[in-house]
């Protein structure tokens, strides 16, 4: 017995530390050195970021992470995903646990000035309400919701908009607040609250996971602007540029009709614009100036497709969500997505 | 601190190397440890400042005066709205923590005493039942008990439209427990005055009865008199004013029951779980406390002709309390700390509200500092109170 | 007086009579144990009513009505809820536990690598059992293997990336695996750290004493979630930019530091119970502080507080469930994660999953507490000062 005790004292050395030290240079260098992009995503939002049974991630935001990896390494598999709750996401980015956060994060002034940078908007969204139309059959407008219990995720802009909207319309409500998206979903599905509020895209995604999706309707009102996009730490413009231009590359590819299927073929195209974008111009420095290789756009499109393809397959017509392109269409088709020229 | 004026005198002190003098060595050890601690502290602070600057984060507690912008579902005792400041939001969270902790402590103590005494019962069935209770709840995590109540029991309750109607216009559904609140009309103040008068009266009756018992040995039914005073006097005053009392009863509205007041399932599950879980520990403490009082004590009391109830009340319990109080106070502390598990079911306690504020403002260091300060002060306050109580009980034992 | 020929004295004894019916067998037992006094009788009736009200429906729900196997939520929900069970049915949904059992044990640990976890588990048991049996030989090598060699072995096996083993991210770990790893690592770290802190708290050096007191009292005063929260969000802020810990490791550090403060108080209790003579006896032998502590004081002190240590272990084991609050998936977290699985969401799913998780936790904790009682009895000899 005595020996056991003595030896257990010696067990102090059983402490195994695993510190992954990296130089504190720019994020791009860090990422290249460690060999993968650590990407913060949603814990599970169908169409945007959700793991399947085998732990493989898929979704719109996930494909954006892959696109960044493809841009940096020419290999879309060199990315690791960190599922983050709404509350954890910004501290995780701040602390350097992740390199880029692509998790339906709304671009706001206060976030932009609190140490974060938003390289672009990959999805223009707005906050909406969902109700169980079977139980609340008479309701077809958010203005009829006075007195309702509203399920909302803690620490989101959604929570703030909700308070503002009900206050502005002089309505009462009872917030039911949870930390994790799954908890909010479960509470709504169990009838703990009458109304679910979050970004409309999210509502469509969540509806699919409810036990009776057809009973639920998304009300028409959009009560806020929610420009969702990737987030990086402030003060690292090189890395912000990589993420920003990855987004623009996806948009530009769609504009120019470059798709996953034809990108290989189009590298031999004669069109000066396509040549320039795909890095086929002689002595081009567009990619290397960004800190990447010159065929970065080829790598991105080869790996994940263009913006339109991403949209359709993950959240649009080709998915279960069937969200219309709406304001996320290209500027030339009446939407808001407008890529700065790659030249 | 160390006494510096005692310097070793004599021949051998010169021979001993300074390094072998335990006192000097002690100083060296301490200096080294201090240096290491300060070094690490400096390093940490430096890193933190560098990290904050790198992330362009402001620091300081000034943000607490800002408008919170979010609503909190349960804010008893305060008039909170989304226009209130962050500090008010934290205060609401703090009150909610206190509320659930105090309610939990009271219930857990009652339950724990009953079960602890039950484990010592002569009745085999009661003894076994209490043992099963203790062994079950002691060995599962409190978080699991909270979820058990929340998603296992309370979520299965019917929807608002099919509420279970209970007596006295109370309703139970998956939105919580709804009950009427009394609304006092004009003149109700007299009842309040009567209540205070009754309390003062009770105090004097008790003193008089004690004096009389000391002097003559005759007992006076203080308990009954007190009950009559405290209940009867306000009732009489109320009657004089013609019962100016109405009830705000819950009625079914468009979405939910409206009116009256409600206790949400978040509070209920947290409160029930903390009470049930902690009660199993308190039961064990009570059991060992009572067993710690020698058998001879109760035998002697029986020999004096005291009945079983009187023996327990006047002989066993006061002595057992001495053993029970110190571990009991640490259970109270545990319950208070476990109340931070509220975040798992969305009850807006200090930890949950603080987490939301952290997320809205990004001030992680300040918010965590507030957590530590508040929980530490709660701990210190509880220990101080229990120490005072312990000292009081120890005097009684004399 | 000495005359023993008196005829009225019996020479042979009567056969002893059987006691009256109320004084023997089951009747006596019932009389003494169930209806000794009127109050006892009332309590017994009350208890029987309670049992009759509670136990048969529970058995019915847990076993008889339970649905044991199936592919999706249909087997656990009534026709009205979109399933196959008759309306009004209510029973445990063990099919859900059955279908997700692998997830509950290993989380998302790659399926083809499960043998690594199993191997670590088997070696853990092989090393642990002889350690727990007081009479088993080779305590010293056994303890060295268990506390010093095994953690490294387990680390290399589970994480991989060496000797041809594929690297498995800690982010994919989950279920009971995470619970056990955190609990074991917490125990292995908190015991030595707790001893050091306890010695520090009783040290005569004021600075060291003060530091230990501050650490112990601070950690004991705040909830574990706060500590985990700090470990998870603040630790990276304290480190130089670019240095980051694995998230799993951060939670581990949080749990271990938390438990060591409690361990320190338990050990201190043991140290305080050592009579002064033991210290005074050691001094004239010329033993240094560490020799005195390591060879004389600690072995006695620790032996005395083994029940307290095991209780701290039980607390730590239960506390591992809190890591689910910082988005890690231990057993409880994994079970809860699957509640919302569209495949399995039914009114019976959450409670079934929670009962399963509770049962697993209970087995471990109950086992530990029984062992603690066993050791308490064994060690009860010769230590009455």
Option in B54, B72, B359 nearest A90 (CB): B359
Instruction: Flag whether A39 is in a domain.
Output: yes
For the CA atoms of A233, A236, A237, A242, the dihedral, rounded to the nearest 10 degrees, stands at: -70
- Choose among C249, C250, C256: nearest CA to C231: C250
| 3 state DSSP class of A126 | coil
Structural domain total, chain B: 2
Distance of CA B151 to the CA centre of its chain: 24
Q: What is the pLDDT of residue A4?
A: 39
Q: In sequence order, what are the beta bridge partners of C25?
A: none
Shared-domain flag, residues A69 and A105: yes
Q: What is the pLDDT at residue A53?
A: 66
pLDDT band for position B18 (50/70/90)?
A: low
Domain boundary among A177, A198, A224: A224
CB B351 within 8 A of CB B343: yes
Looking at the fold, whether B271 and B389 belong to one and the same domain comes out as yes
| Number of domains comprising chain A | 2
Residue C385 pLDDT level (bands cut at 50, 70, 90): very low
CA distance C63 to A73: 55
Q: Indicate whether A274 and A161 sit together in one domain.
A: no
pLDDT computed for residue C4 by the predictor = 59
Residue C162 burial by CB count (10 A; 0-12/13-18/19+): exposed, middle or buried? exposed
- pLDDT confidence of residue B398: 42
> 3-state class of C353 per DSSP?
helix
* Average pLDDT rounded to a whole number, residues B23-47: 87
Q: What is the pLDDT along chain A (343 residues), one digit of tens a residue?
A: 334 333 333 333 332 223 333 334 588 998 999 899 999 998 888 889 988 766 788 999 999 999 999 999 999 999 988 888 777 788 788 878 899 999 989 898 888 887 899 999 999 999 999 998 888 878 888 888 888 889 998 878 888 899 999 989 988 888 888 888 878 888 888 888 889 999 888 898 888 878 778 889 888 888 888 899 999 998 888 999 999 999 999 999 999 999 999 999 998 888 999 999 998 888 888 899 999 999 999 999 999 999 999 999 999 888 888 888 888 999 999 899 999 999 8
Element (H, E) at A106: strand A100-106
- State the smallest CA–CA distance between residue B255 and chain A in angstroms: 6
Closest CA to A215 of A160, A137, A281: A137
How far apart CA C123 and CA A102 sit, in angstroms, is: 42
pLDDT for A7 equals 38
Task: State whether B26 and B132 are in the same domain.
Answer: no
Of B142, B143, B379, the CB nearest to C221: B379
Interface touch B376/C314, C-beta < 8 Å:
no
B71–A163 CB contact, under 8 Å: yes
Q: What span, in angstroms and rounded, lies between the C-alpha atoms of C271 and C286?
A: 20
Residues A51 and A94 in one domain: yes
Q: Does B132 touch chain C (CB under 8 A)?
A: no
C382 confidence band (pLDDT: 50, 70, 90): low
Domain annotation covers residue A17: no
Q: How far is the alpha carbon of B29 from chain C, nearest alpha carbon, in Å?
A: 8
Nearest-CA neighbor of C343 among C74, C66, C65, C69?
C74
Arithmetic mean of pLDDT, C271-278: 84
Residue A7 lies in a domain: no
Name all domains of chain C by residue range, CATH numbers in brackets: 21-90 (no CATH), 98-109+168-378 (1.10.3720.10)
CATH number of the domain residue B129 falls in: 1.10.3720.10
List of chains touching C (3+ CB pairs within 8 A): A, B
Tally C-beta pairs within 8 A across B and C: 162
For residues B25-53, give the mean pLDDT.
86
Partner residue facing B371 (CB), from C205, C226, C354? C226
- Decide which of B54, B76, B102 is a domain's last residue: B54
Residue of A154, A169, A231 to mutate when probing chain B, most B C-beta within 10 A: A154
Provide the token pair at C162. Answer: 């060496």
Of the partner residues B29, B126, B376, the one whose CB lies closest to the CB of residue C222: B376
Question: Cβ(A12)–Cβ(C152) under 8 Å?
Answer: no
The structure tokens listed for C228 are 């985990």
Q: Are residues B253 and B324 in the same domain?
A: yes
Other C-beta atoms closer than 10 Å to the C-beta of C293 total 20
A236 and A326 part of one domain? yes
Rounded CA gap, C134 and C375, in Å?
Answer: 9
Alpha helices in B217-340 (DSSP H): 222-227, 233-240, 265-292, 295-303, 308-310, 317-338
Residue A338 lies in a domain: no
pLDDT at B130 over 50: yes
B337 interfaces chain C, CB cutoff of 8 Å = yes
- What was the pLDDT predicted at B1? 42
- Residue B302 resides in a domain: yes
CATH label of the domain that carries residue A272? 3.40.190.10
Give yes or no: residues B91 and B21 share one domain: no
What is the least distance, in Å, from the CA of A55 to any CA of chain C? 6
Pair (B30, B155) in one structural domain? no
B172 within a domain of the structure (yes/no): yes
Q: What is the dihedral of CA A219, A225, A229, A235, to 10 degrees?
A: -150
Nearest-CA distance A142 → chain C (Å):
26
Q: Are B130 and B45 members of one domain?
A: no
Within a domain: B232: no
Does the CB of B241 have a partner CB in chain C at under 8 Å? no
pLDDT confidence of residue B190: 80
Cβ distance A91 to B364 less than 8 Å, yes or no, reads yes
pLDDT single digits (tens) C280-311: 888 888 888 888 888 888 888 888 888 888 88
DSSP state of A211: S
- Name the nearest CA neighbour of C213 among C226, C199, C230: C199
Q: Tell me which chain C residues have a C-beta less than 8 angstroms from the C-beta of A3.
A: 139-140, 143
Give me the pLDDT at residue B320, please.
Answer: 86
The pLDDT of B198-219, averaged and rounded, is: 86
Residue B196 lies in a domain: no
Domain contains A244: yes
Task: Write the pLDDT tens digit of every residue in C102-155.
Answer: 888 888 888 888 888 899 999 999 888 888 887 878 878 888 888 888 888 888
Other beta carbons less than 10 A from residue B54's beta carbon: 17
The pLDDT value recorded for residue A231 is 95
A160 with B70: Cβ contact below 8 A: yes
CB pairs under 8 A between A and B: 112
Q: How far is A27 from chain C (nearest CA, A)?
A: 9
Chains contacting A (3+ CB pairs below 8 angstroms): B, C
Q: Is residue B266 part of a domain?
A: yes
Instruction: Tell whether B6 is covered by a domain.
Output: no
Residue B156 phi, psi (nearest 5): -85, -10
Report the C-alpha gap between A196 and A213 in whole angstroms.
13
Same domain assignment for residues B32 and B147: no
CA distances from C189 to B3, C104, C147, C217, C256 (A): 37, 26, 10, 19, 6
Count the alpha carbons within 13 Å of B277 in the hemisphere toward its beta carbon: 30
Structure tokens at B231: 């209940």
Of the pLDDT bands very low, low, confident and very high (cuts 50, 70, 90), residue B78 is confident
User: Hey, of A2, A3, A10, A11, which one would you mutate to test binding to chain C, going by the most C CBs within 10 A of its CB?
Assistant: A11
Q: Please state the rounded mean pLDDT for residues B107-112.
A: 94
- Rounded to whole angstroms, the Cα distance separating C64 from C90 reads 10
Predicted confidence band of residue B55 (pLDDT cuts 50, 70, 90): low
Q: What is the pLDDT of residue C373?
A: 85
Residue after which a domain boundary falls, among A167, A194, A224: A224
Q: Is residue B99 within 8 Å of residue B76, measured between CB atoms? A: yes
CA–CA gap between residue B193 and residue B188 (Å, rounded): 9
The pLDDT value recorded for residue C278 is 85
Q: What angle do CA B8, B14, B19 make, to 5 degrees?
A: 85
Asked if A231 and A321 sit in the same domain, the reply is yes
Return the residue of A nearest to C134 by Cα: A1
- One domain for residues A195 and A148: yes
Chain B residues at the A interface, defined by Cβ less than 8 Å, are 51, 54-57, 69-73, 81-83, 151, 155, 159, 161, 174-175, 253-256, 258, 265, 343-344, 346, 348, 352, 355-356, 358-362, 364
Q: Are residues B24 and B127 in the same domain?
A: no
Nearest CA in chain C to A21: C243
A251 and A283 fall within a common domain: yes
Q: Which residues does chain B have within 8 Å of residue C96's beta carbon, measured at their own beta carbons? A: none
Query: Where is the domain boundary, A197, A224, A251?
Result: A224
**Cβ-Cβ contacts under 8 Å, B371 against chain C:** 222, 226, 229
Which of chain B's residues have a Cβ under 8 Å away from the Cβ of A174?
73, 256
Distance CA A39, CA A242 (A): 14
Residue A25 has a pLDDT of 58
Is B371 a residue whose pLDDT tops 50?
yes
Cβ of residue B30 closer than 8 Å to a chain C Cβ: yes
DSSP one-letter string for C231-261? IIIIHHHHSPTT-EE-HHHHHHHHHHHHHHH
Considering the domain boundaries, does residue A65 fall inside one?
yes
- Give the mean pLDDT of B382-386: 82
**Per-residue pLDDT at B394 exceeds 80:** no
Q: Do A97 and C185 touch (CB under 8 A)?
A: no
Task: Give residue for tokens 């002697």.
Answer: B300
B243 occurs within a structural domain: no
Residue A235 lies in a domain: yes
Helix A237-255 to helix A27-34 angle, to the nearest 10 degrees? 80
**Residue position matching structure tokens 């304290």:** C238
Residues B160 and B272 in one domain: yes
Which of B51, B125, B144 faces C321 most closely, judged by CB atoms?
B144
- pLDDT value of position B2: 44
CB A280 within 8 A of CB A102: no
> In angstroms, rounded to a whole number, what is the distance separating the alpha carbons of residues C269 and B339?
27
Q: Do C340 and A14 touch (CB under 8 A)?
A: no
Q: Chain A: nearest CA to C57, how far in angstroms?
A: 24
What's the confidence (pLDDT) of residue C1?
52
Are B283 and B321 in contact by the 8 Å Cβ rule? The answer is no
* Cβ atoms of C292 and C283 closer than 8 Å: yes
The per-residue pLDDT for A22 is 34
A161 and A258 part of one domain: no
Domain that holds residue A250: 27-124+227-333
User: What are the chain B neighbours of C336 within 8 Å (beta carbons)?
Assistant: 147
DSSP string covering C343-379: TT--TTHHHHHHHHHHHHHHHHHHHHHHHHHHHHHHT
Over the stretch C222-259, which tens digit does the pLDDT of each residue have? 999 888 888 877 787 787 766 667 778 888 888 999 99
Q: How far apart are CA B381 and CA B329, in angstroms?
A: 11
Side-chain half-sphere CA neighbours of A323 within 13 A: 31
pLDDT, tens digit, 9 for 90 and up, residues B242-292: 777 777 777 777 677 776 677 888 899 999 999 999 999 999 999 988 888
Q: For residue B338, give its domain range.
A: 86-180+249-397
* Cα separation, B179 vs A194, whole angstroms: 21
Same domain, A112 and A189: no
- Among candidates B141, B151, B355 on the partner chain, residue whose Cβ is nearest the Cβ of C321: B141
Residue A2 pLDDT: 39
Is residue B240 a part of any domain in this protein? no
Q: Do C365 and B44 touch (CB under 8 A)?
A: no
| Residue A155 burial by Cβ neighbours in a 10 Å radius (0-12, 13-18, 19+) | buried
Of B73, B83, B256, the CB nearest to A147: B256
Domain check: are A105 and A238 in the same one?
yes
Kindly state whether residues B26 and B161 are assigned to the same domain.
no
Output Rg (C-alpha) for chain A, integer angstroms: 23
Asked if the structure places residue A287 within a domain, the reply is: yes
């Amino acid at each position: 017995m005595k020996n056991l005790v003595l030896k257990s004292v010696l067990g102090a050395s059983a402490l195994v530390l695993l510190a992954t030290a990296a130089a504190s240079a720019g994020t791009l260098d860090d990422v290249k050195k460690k060999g993968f992009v650590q990407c913060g995503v949603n814990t599970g939002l169908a169409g945007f970021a959700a793991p399947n049974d085998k732990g493989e991630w898929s979704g719109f935001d996930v494909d954006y992470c892959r696109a960044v990896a493809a841009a940096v390494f020419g290999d879309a598999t060199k990315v690791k995903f960190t599922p983050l709750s709404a509350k954890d996401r910004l501290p995780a980015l701040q602390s350097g646990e992740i390199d880029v956060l692509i998790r339906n994060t709304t671009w706001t002034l206060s976030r932009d000035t609190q140490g974060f940078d938003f390289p672009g908007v990959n999805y223009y969204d707005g906050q909406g309400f969902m109700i169980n139309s079977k139980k609340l059959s008479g309701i077809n407008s958010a203005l009829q919701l006075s007195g309702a219990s509203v399920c909302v995720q803690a620490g989101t802009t959604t929570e703030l908009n909700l308070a503002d909207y009900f206050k502005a319309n002089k309505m009462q409500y009872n917030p039911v607040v949870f930390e994790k998206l799954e908890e909010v979903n479960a509470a709504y599905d169990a009838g703990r609250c009458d109304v679910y509020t979050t970004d409309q895209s999210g509502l469509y995604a969540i509806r699919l996971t409810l036990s009776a999706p057809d009973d639920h309707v998304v009300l028409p009102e959009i009560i806020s602007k929610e420009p969702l996009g990737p987030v990086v730490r402030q003060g690292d413009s090189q890395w912000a540029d990589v993420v920003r231009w990855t987004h623009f590359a996806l948009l530009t590819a769609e504009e120019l009709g470059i798709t996953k299927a034809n990108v290989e073929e189009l590298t031999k195209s004669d069109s000066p614009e396509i040549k320039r974008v795909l890095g086929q111009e002689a002595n081009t420095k567009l990619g290397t100036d960004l800190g990447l290789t010159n065929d970065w756009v080829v790598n991105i499109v080869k790996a994940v497709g263009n913006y339109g393809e991403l949209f359709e397959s993950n959240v649009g017509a080709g998915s279960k969500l069937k969200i219309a392109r709406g304001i996320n269409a290209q500027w030339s088709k009446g939407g808001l997505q407008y890529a700065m020229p790659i030249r | 601190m160390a006494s510096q004026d005692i310097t070793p005198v004599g021949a051998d002190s010169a021979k001993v190397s300074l390094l072998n003098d335990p006192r000097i060595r002690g100083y060296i050890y301490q200096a080294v440890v201090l240096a290491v601690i300060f070094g690490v502290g400096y390093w940490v602070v430096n890193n933190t400042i560098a990290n904050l600057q790198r992330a362009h984060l402001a620091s300081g507690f000034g943000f607490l005066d800002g408008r919170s912008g979010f609503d909190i579902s349960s804010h008893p005792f305060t008039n909170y709205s989304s226009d209130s400041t962050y500090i008010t939001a934290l205060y609401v969270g703090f009150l909610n923590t206190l509320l659930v902790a105090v309610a939990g402590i009271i219930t857990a103590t009652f339950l724990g005493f009953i079960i602890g005494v039950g484990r010592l019962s002569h009745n085999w069935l009661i003894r076994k039942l209490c043992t099963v209770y203790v062994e079950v709840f002691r060995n599962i995590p409190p978080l699991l008990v909270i979820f058990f109540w929340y998603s296992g029991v309370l979520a299965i309750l019917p929807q608002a439209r099919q509420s279970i109607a209970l007596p006295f216009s109370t309703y139970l559904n998956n939105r919580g427990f709804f009950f009427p609140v009394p609304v006092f009309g004009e003149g109700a103040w007299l009842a309040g005055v009567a209540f205070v008068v009754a309390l003062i009266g009770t105090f004097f009756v008790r003193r008089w009865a004690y004096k009389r018992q000391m002097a003559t040995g005759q007992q006076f039914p203080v308990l009954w008199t007190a009950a009559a005073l405290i209940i009867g006097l306000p009732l009489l005053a109320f009657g004089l004013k013609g019962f100016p009392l109405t009830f705000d009863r819950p009625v079914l509205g468009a979405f939910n029951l409206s009116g009256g007041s409600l206790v949400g399932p978040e509070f209920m599950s947290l409160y029930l779980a903390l009470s049930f879980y902690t009660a199993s520990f308190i039961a064990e403490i009570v059991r060992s406390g009572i067993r710690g009082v020698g058998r001879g004590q109760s035998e002697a009391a029986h020999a004096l002709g005291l009945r079983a109830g009187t023996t327990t009340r006047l002989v066993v319990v006061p002595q057992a309390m001495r053993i029970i109080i110190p571990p009991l106070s640490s259970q109270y502390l545990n319950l208070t700390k476990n109340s931070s598990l509220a975040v798992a079911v969305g009850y807006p306690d200090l930890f949950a509200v603080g987490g939301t504020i952290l997320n809205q403002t990004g001030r992680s260091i300040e918010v965590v500092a507030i957590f530590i300060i508040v929980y530490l002060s709660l701990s210190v306050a509880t220990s101080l109170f229990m120490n005072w109580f312990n000292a009081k009980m120890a005097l009684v034992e004399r | 007086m000495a005359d023993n020929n008196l005829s009225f004295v019996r020479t042979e004894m009567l056969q002893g009579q059987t006691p009256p019916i109320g004084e023997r067998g089951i009747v006596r037992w019932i009389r003494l144990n169930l209806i000794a006094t009127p109050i006892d009788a009332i309590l017994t009736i009350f208890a029987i009513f309670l049992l009759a009200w509670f136990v048969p429906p529970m058995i019915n729900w847990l076993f008889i009505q339970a649905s044991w196997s199936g592919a999706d939520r249909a087997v656990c929900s009534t026709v009205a809820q979109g399933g196959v069970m008759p309306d009004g049915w209510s029973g445990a949904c063990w099919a859900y536990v059955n279908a997700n059992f692998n997830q509950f044990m290993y989380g998302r640990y790659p399926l083809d690598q499960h043998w690594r976890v199993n191997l670590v588990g088997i070696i853990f048991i092989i090393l642990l059992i002889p350690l727990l049996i007081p009479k088993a030989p080779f305590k010293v090598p056994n303890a060295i293997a268990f506390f010093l060699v095994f953690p490294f072995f387990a680390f290399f096996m589970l994480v991989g990336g060496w000797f041809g083993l594929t690297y498995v991210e800690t982010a994919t770990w989950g279920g009971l695996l995470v619970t056990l790893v955190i609990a074991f690592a917490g125990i292995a770290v908190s015991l030595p750290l707790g001893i050091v802190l306890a010695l520090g708290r009783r040290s005569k050096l004021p600075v060291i004493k003060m530091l230990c007191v501050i650490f112990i009292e601070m950690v004991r005063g705040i909830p574990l979630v706060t500590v985990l929260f700090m470990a998870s969000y603040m630790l990276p802020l304290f480190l130089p930019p670019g240095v980051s810990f694995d998230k799993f490791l951060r939670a581990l550090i949080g749990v271990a530091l938390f438990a060591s403060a409690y361990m320190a108080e338990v050990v201190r209790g043991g140290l305080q119970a050592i009579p002064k003579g033991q210290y005074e006896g050691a001094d004239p032998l010329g033993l240094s502080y560490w020799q005195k502590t390591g060879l004389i004081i600690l072995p006695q002190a620790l032996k005395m507080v083994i029940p307290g240590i095991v209780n701290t272990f039980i607390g730590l084991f239960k506390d591992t469930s809190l890591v689910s609050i910082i988005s890690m998936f231990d057993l409880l977290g994994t079970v809860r994660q699957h509640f919302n699985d569209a495949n399995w969401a039914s009114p019976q799913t959450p409670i079934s999953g929670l009962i399963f998780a509770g049962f697993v936790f209970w087995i471990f904790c109950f086992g530990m507490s029984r062992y603690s009682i066993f050791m308490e009895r064994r060690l009860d000899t010769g230590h009455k000062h």
